[in-house]
Amino acid sequence: MTPAARLSAAIEVLDRIASSRQPADQVLKAWGVANRYAGSGDRRAVADRVYACLRDGGGQGREAVLASLARRDKLAPAEIGALFSGQGYAPATLTAEEMARLHALGGGQAPASLPGFIATQLGRTFGKDAAAEAAALLSGRAPVDLRVNGLLTDASSLAADLAESGFASQPTPFSAFGLRLDVSAARLAALDAFKAGRFEVQDEGSQMASWLLGAQPGQTVVDYCAGGGGKTLAIGQMMQGRGALVACDLNPRRLDAIKPRLDRAGLEADLRRVGPTGDRLEDLVGRADRVLVDAPCSGSGTWRRRPEEAWRLTEAQLHGLVRTQKEVLHRAAALVRPGGRLAYVTCSVLAAENTDIAAVFAAEHPGFAPLPAPEAAATPMLTDAGRRRLAELSAGGHTVQLSPRRTDTDGFFIALFQRTT
């Protein structure tokens, strides 16, 4: 494909993302399947252009690509006009209005700013570092992290197996069971080690959130919003397959997807579809040693993977999520026994979903005391560096905010509580 043809492809993909609201990675995959003539270099170039446009605000494909060429590539209007020639597979020629807009950009105007309500939330979370945190959140490629299934292998053995298959890896700095690679996660699913359950793809931040729950063998542990089951599997590893592990979700299809993952990992769990008010868990009220609430959230902590979502989130949607988070955390807390631990987790960097929820919960539930993160971090599942970093980020308190800039992980938030009465 010529450079101009790649721009036409990027415009097509961006238009599909804007009209369908599908995740960018799915639209790109579908485009690649439908255009098999495109080589790996072409697909990578198209994807890079699409993600660059999405990080700058997205929008309709042609307008977004033009802005990207001016802002990021710093091409002059005449150079852009040469690419938009309308010949062959090149985009149609520039209109007079488009040419005028390119001249107005001056070859390097800053990308579009995040919506004001999001900028406010980031300021509350990160203070003076908000701009730098936002830039890290919307730039660069996220690494692929694996969680080694310690019940079946160890990190060094798995790393050696991966190397034999042509995949170089490095230990993650904070999770003692993490390996980091610079490959597509899809390529790993074909490996025998994956099929044998020796590892799962899981961001290191997600692993850290799982480890802070502090599940122990023989306990009763509830993953209240199990979703795809990534943390369920990590918790099962901590429990060494012993005890009662209960994974809950409103969506039965999500629970169905967990079963083969459990089988592959050599684990068992009681999979329960809960009702909208948390029913079907009455037998667990006041009995659980550990409860993890990985609450529905904006997913803002994953915007480096899906930058298009930064421009789709509305303030009304955020308010709706906050209401849900309060309700879910309240219902899940009823399951914790005296002396048990409750972990509230989101993959978000927005204060309204994180510190605000933790503060409201503490005020409304005097029977729960904040559990300092350094105390929870005293687990062999974390490296020494991981324990030190969590102590720094929490400042000795019970909440921790991870982020691409702070920890090179997705933006997970963790708040820890222990039931006292």
Q: β-strands 288-294, 336-346: how paired? A: parallel
Give 407's contacts (C-beta < 8 A, 6+ positions apart): 174, 204, 205, 389, 393
* 3-state secondary structure at position 194: helix
Closest CA to 244 of 235, 253, 252: 235
**Do β-strands 413-419 and 178-181 pair in parallel, antiparallel, or remain unpaired?**
unpaired
CA atoms of 2 and 253, how far apart (whole Å) = 43
- What are the phi and psi torsion angles at 18 (to 5°)? -65, -35
Q: What share of the chain is helix, strand, coil (3-state, %, to 5)?
A: 50, 15, 35
> How deeply is 110 buried, as exposed, middle or buried, from its count of CB atoms within 10 A (0-12, 13-18, 19+)?
exposed
Catalytic residue among 53, 225, 297, 347: 347
- State yes or no: is 297 an active-site residue: no
Helix H segments across 213-276?
230-238, 252-265
* C-alpha dist (Å) from residue 264 to 139, 147, 149, 153, 227: 34, 14, 10, 13, 17
Structure token pair of residue 305: 């993977």
Q: What is the sign, positive or negative, of the torsion defined by CA atoms of 269, 273, 276, 282?
A: negative
CA–CA dist 290, 287 (Å, integer): 9
DSSP of 138-192: TSSPPPEEEEE-TTT--HHHHHHHHHHTT---EE-SSBTTEEEESS-HHHHTTSH
**Could you tell me the end-to-end alpha-carbon distance of the chain, in angstroms, rounded to an integer?**
67
**Cα–Cα distance measured from residue 262 to residue 337, given in angstroms and rounded to the nearest whole number:** 26
Angle at 344 between CA 265 and CA 174, to 5 degrees: 60
What the block records as the tokens of 163 is 């190397």
CA atoms within 13 A on the CB side of 411: 27
Active site residues: 347
